[in-house]
Structure 1
């Protein structure tokens, strides 16, 4: 049987070469449709959602436990482990192949199992057990450091020795399309003697990837590189909305808190680690060499193109304001997970790890408005006289990401969010 990543594979459903969801991808998500059934697990293929519950009911798909795909999250399926993940993806790929009549020539099953994407409502794909956000782009950390501490002290002494992170709020991780309300908080602008309380005035986005942890680790145990890799189920696009003025006042001495707790948006499709395998690359050279527990033998970064589009309320069409690549990350997702567990911290099925803002060396590769506008000193000119330093009410942000194969792309769809006024 051909491997599901084989570039020569073709689906019996026509899939355009520019689609994010060819047969080489098969990302998992949770959807509901007009038939009134509760949210359940599906796979994206071209312009359709393949209903895995229907395939299970028809005895075409068996993961060893009935009802796994009738669940409103992917957690139960992820808990079955990497061998089941791989076997299930291979079976789905086999069912969708152009030369396999099993589903292709069964019109009744096809009618039930293939739901047009336009008729599907997509939901948060996982029950988020815990959320941790990292700070792992050297370009981003350097840019921010230069702004606030000067060129000679841009990186803090610990930054080159370990992935820096903080524990965020799982309760406010939301699915793409969820509108986000402008947060309120304590503000203390330069020159003010005491803080005030009110709506954030310097609202920002952060272009990130999210790692979905599909296997647990025991409290008290460390992880090897191989163990950490095997625990990663897949990846999502992630927007870690940020209130820069609230953060500036609150972050000393313990780091972000309310400035990052109000919303984190993720894309509805989880692209599996296996689907991204052909696009693995080595990350930047790490100097100094990390401590032994953080050293990598494998290429754990991905050649994954990323774009950010902004549409102001008064604009008809969005404008691209950033294009960068996940391959630039100094600390890989595997290193982040290894470090997270290194103290003995237990990891759970459904944990979400944010990569941290992804910026590249070019000015057009900056993954936040803080960097794009250089803390408001270099306003971003859009179209029709629209100018931005930070986000305004009614602004909509959308992220897209994909890996480019030979004649196909493995993509993530989008993560979108629109800013509402503070209450």
Structure 2
């Protein structure tokens, strides 16, 4: 019965024409009237359109094509002792994650400053979050491409590179860091922004570390670099606080993370992709009694400019005094000279003198970033690359992220019924008040 019914259905189905046997002509259709193709209406371009000058590589020595070129030795007093982490009872060397999306000069400055301040390069992980797949690894992008990253230079510095599978938002990137702790067996990790310049307390910091000179150039007992102070802070945190969540070393410009705390509160809220996502995460940690405290380990300066030549961080002789350039300067008529006061005279010790000049220029770089102009202008410094793989207009990247940022702010407002960061003290909220309260403004 089933076969007979199926044959009956087949007989009733329309059969397609066979062009080899069927000579009948199909009915002709009237020709389609062609409509004129619409013309796009372009945004008006102002007469005074300003294009910033091309960026340059801030480490000319390593930018050379000679594969044998290696970076200079770091200052002797900042060289980490082998297996230093074991001196602080740490079972594994603490990794430092630095995420990268745009602005190669800024990223390179952050990495070199950590290395010369004493962080072992083999424990630094640059997380390439560009979305350009293997284009940077293959060397297919040029310096002016917004997503350009030089794998060769990073390899010469001795740091690790981890690539995200796709371009992630800030909150997604933070959750990617958490995922690395599972695959790599990390019980803790440090992470840093890429728009920082880091120095150890080489002149000394009262109650933290004596100067390098007091302790002896060869790393004698006493003086501690930023890396050693971070190891010390990690050891004390683990011993003293079983419910620790975060330790800040200049807010989250350098932060120590307990992955167990992040997991406990469900990770970062990826529906809040950029700004205010830190307020959301840190509030949820506090609401569940994971501690967040501040520690001192070094000078981690928030910057939007780059040293003219990163070789000054190695304290080489014969270099000009350190100065900085803006990778995305304002139009010439708007630019103001940002000069800080320079100390006259100075100490007899030439190494401390060089360090003081670096600290002075980092102070001026901080003041420049916070002088009233948008603090993230550095992100749009590279505006070339058209025709290269994965090209995307720099203006489009910036505008698209702005839209996502504002959408995330609205998610935050609806989630908590509050607009500001003070969810606990300012709004009296607890963890499961999320998505349950009316707005309070």
TM range (shorter): under 0.3
Structure number, greater radius of gyration: 2
**Higher percent of residues as helix:** 2
The alignment's TM-score, normalised by the length of structure 2, stands at 0.24
Q: Which has the higher contact order (CA 8 A, sep 6+)?
A: 1
**Higher percent of residues as strand:** 1
